[in-house]
Every structure is written in structure tokens, then in C-alpha cells.
Structure 1
Amino acid sequence: MGTDIYGFVEVRHPFADEDWYEWEPWVCLMPISPLYLNDDDDAFACLFGVRNWLRWEPVAAERGLPADVSSAVRGSHEKDGRLDSAVHGASWVSWAELRDLDMSVVPLARGLLRVEDPPLLRRFRVDDEWPGAFVEKYGVPPVGASPVEASPGRWDAGGVTVEYGPVTTRHDVLGPGTGWEHVFAVMRALGQRFGDDGVRLVVWFD
């Protein structure tokens, strides 16, 4: 089963620090759906450490809900938790953090094996040895006896197509065409009004 994300953009009210201001400092502005409609585990792992099988260094993992989260977002999280016991991974990240991401960063895995067996696509993380489960089923890849010396390649293995190549970058999982560019564009625009530290994304998963 795939992993679903629930996310909301919050902004800090410009008058939150004024003595006369008596309301919540953070305001729930909008859900990220329909800006973002995908369920890409690589992106979730890259940003929040969820289903992190490629061993990304997450940007904002396991922070929980912000202590001053808006009542609207807290209420939505509590409601989702009552409806689905699988809800987990609550965290948050500011636009200031997302704005400055190095998009060339890659996870700690050495590479990826992709097995195309339509309609299925299986992926195996590769470290310093070929994955045992892959070798048992498809044999040692012809691109090298060890991943340390292997080159990228594509071949047929028992009627399925296998490809070995480098791991993806942050740009690959968060850049144009992923859907995250729309979320980031909205947060960037809001930062011009509320300040980059005054805009944040609050999320959880099931």
C-alpha cells in the first residue's frame, strides 16, 4: 500500500507579537491538496524521513506538531488519528528551510536496481554489495561483480528488464514535475508577506 500525506500551510500573523493581539499566532491558510496530489515515498523520505529506505538525510523528520500549531490543524490531525490508527510521522518545516535546500543532495545508497515487469516496477537499494534478494531471483548483474566497480546499465533478466543506475537527487524528487514546485511557489509568495520564518508546512502520514 502507498503512503498518503496530509499537509497544511500555516502563516504567523503579522501582529502576533503585539500586546493587544489575543488570537492564535499561527493561522491555517490552506491544505496542500490540490497543489500536491502525489504519493511519492522518495519525496516523503527526503523531506520528512517517512519510508526512508534509500537512507536520505531528512530535512525535517519526527518533529511532531509545532507547540503553537493552529487549532484548525491540530483538530484535523486529531480527527484523522481517530479515524485511522495508522496516522503517524507528524512534522513541520519552515519556508526558510525549504528555500535554502541544496537540491543536488543524494541519499546514502550507492545506487538503484529497477526491475520493470509490467505493470509492476520493483526497486532495490544498492549499497556495497548486490542485494541478496535480487541476486537470488535475477542473478548477479552483468554490469559488475560488485556495485563498487559497476557501471550503469540496462539488460534483460528472465523476461524482465533491469536497469542499474545512480540514486536520485533532491531535485529529482522535489523539483519541477513532482508537484512540490507548486507547494514551494505558494510558500515562497507567502514569505514575501509573512517572512520566510513566518510560513511553514505541517504534515502527517498514513
Structure 2
Amino acid sequence: MSTDIYGCIETRHPCADHDWYDDAPWLYAMDLSPLYSGNDYTAFGCLFGVRNYAGWEPVAAGRGLPGDVSAQVRGDYERWAPLDTLHGATWVAWQELEAIDMGAVPRGSRGLLRVQEPETSAAVWEYWVTDTWPIEIINRFGEPPVGSSPATARHGTWTSGSATLGFHRVTRGQAIGPGSGWEHVFAVMKALAGRFGPRGVRLVAYFD
């Protein structure tokens, strides 16, 4: 069963710290879905530690819903929570997102192995590789010519029969940068931060 993401962008009212202000400090700004509707596990793991097959050091994993989350987000979450399918609730401020090192790579893997075969051209099989090549790859295609050990293998692409295989280094920039879909989320958050400040804009997210 696939995992999907839900959530929204919230902003903190500029007057929330004043004694006279008695409304909710955080306000619902925009739903996540028009900006990002994908379910790329590489990005989920990179940002939130969900489906983290690559072994990323996640930016904001398992923080739960903020205690001062907006009423709309809490209501949406609590409406679905009784179905017992939601998990991974968390939040992250724009201040944290804008500080991400986009050149960083996952610590828990040596790289991403992609396999594409003509008869299944619509599908690309992906394997996050640690210190040994996947046994099914060895059995089917033999030892990769890029190296006997992923720890010392060079990155590159090769063919085996009709299949094309590639062993690639994946950075945070590739996981959540331009072309990933997340650039739209970040662009909106950055624009809002111009009004509310980098700590006054956050993304609240959860998964099923």
C-alpha cells in the first residue's frame, strides 16, 4: 500500500506576541495539495524520515502536530485519525528548510541503483544500495562492472542484455530541489516569510 502526504502551510500572526492579541497564533494559509501531490519516498525520507529507505538524516521527523496548530488543520487531522491510518505527523519551519544543505547525501546508503528493461519501459526499479549489491541484481545481471563493492564502486550507467542499469549518487537537491515538485512548496513558503519572517511560516504534514 502506498504512502501519501497531507498537510498545509501555516503562518504566525505578526501580533501574536502582544498581550492584547487573543486569537489563535498560527493561521491556516494554504493546503499542500495544489503545490505538491506526489508520493516520492526519497523526498519523504529526506524531509520527514517517512519511508526512509535511503537512510537520510531527516530534517524534521516525528515531531507530532504542533501544540498550537491551527484549528482547521487539527480538525482535518482528528476527522481522519479514528481510521487509524495516519502516521508521521510533524512540522518544519521555513527557517529550517532554507538552511538545508542541498549537496548532502544520505548516510545510510552508498547510492541509488536504477534498472529499466524495454519490456517494462513504464517502470524503473530502484534499489538503495548499502555495502553489498542486491542479491537479485547479482543473480540476474551479474556483478556490476562499476565495482565489486558499492563502497568503492564508481557511479555510472551500463547495459546488461536489454536492460539499462545505473548507479547514482543522490543529493538532497535532487530529492527535494527543482524538478521534484517541492520547489513550489518552498517558493510559497519563502514568499510568505517575506511578510511573517522565516520562523513565522511552517509546513505541517502527516501521512497515511
Q: TM-score, normalised by structure 1?
A: 0.92
More off after superposition, 132-141 vs 96-105: 132-141
Aligned-pair identity in percent equals 53
- Which of these residues, 156, 162, 175, is aligned with residue 177 of structure 2? 175
After TM superposition, which residue ranges in structure 1, 4 or more long, deviate above 6 angstroms?
none
Matched, 1:12 2:12: yes
User: What is the CA–CA distance in structure 1 between the aligned matches of 2:157 and 2:200, rounded to whole Å?
Assistant: 47
What is the one-letter code of the residue matched to 1:181? E
Equivalent in the alignment of 1:148: 151
Kept in 2, the 8 Å contact 1:124–1:134? The answer is: no
What is the one-letter code of the residue matched to 1:50? V
What is the one-letter code of the residue matched to 1:151? R
Unaligned runs of 5+ in 2: none
User: What is the CA–CA distance in structure 1 between the aligned matches of 2:85 and 2:139, rounded to whole Å?
Assistant: 33
Unaligned runs of 5+ in 1: none
Kept in 2, the 8 Å contact 1:55–1:107? The answer is: yes
- What are the Cα deviations for residues 173-202 of structure 1, in whole angstroms up to 9, with x where unaligned? 111122211111111111111111111000
Shift of 1:44: 0.8
Equivalent in the alignment of 1:159: 162
User: What is the CA–CA distance in structure 2 between the aligned matches of 1:171 and 1:68, rounded to whole Å?
Assistant: 31
- What are the Cα deviations for residues 5-53 of structure 1, in whole angstroms up to 9, with x where unaligned? 1021111111112222221111111111201122111111100000000
Equivalent in the alignment of 2:76: 76
Shift of 1:134: 2.4
SS in 2 for 1:120: coil
Kept in 2, the 8 Å contact 1:112–1:126? The answer is: yes
Aligned residues: 204
- What are the Cα deviations for residues 153-173 of structure 1, in whole angstroms up to 9, with x where unaligned? 33333532211222x111111
SS in 1 for 2:136: helix
Kept in 2, the 8 Å contact 1:116–1:161? The answer is: yes
User: What is the CA–CA distance in structure 2 between the aligned matches of 1:151 and 1:134, rounded to whole Å?
Assistant: 17
User: What is the CA–CA distance in structure 2 between the aligned matches of 1:33 and 1:185, rounded to whole Å?
Assistant: 14
Shift of 1:58: 0.3
Matched, 1:50 2:50: yes
Instruction: Tell me how large the CA RMSD over aligned residues is.
Output: 1.5
More off after superposition, 63-72 vs 177-186: 177-186
Matched, 1:38 2:41: no
User: What is the CA–CA distance in structure 1 between the aligned matches of 2:99 and 2:90, rounded to whole Å?
Assistant: 18
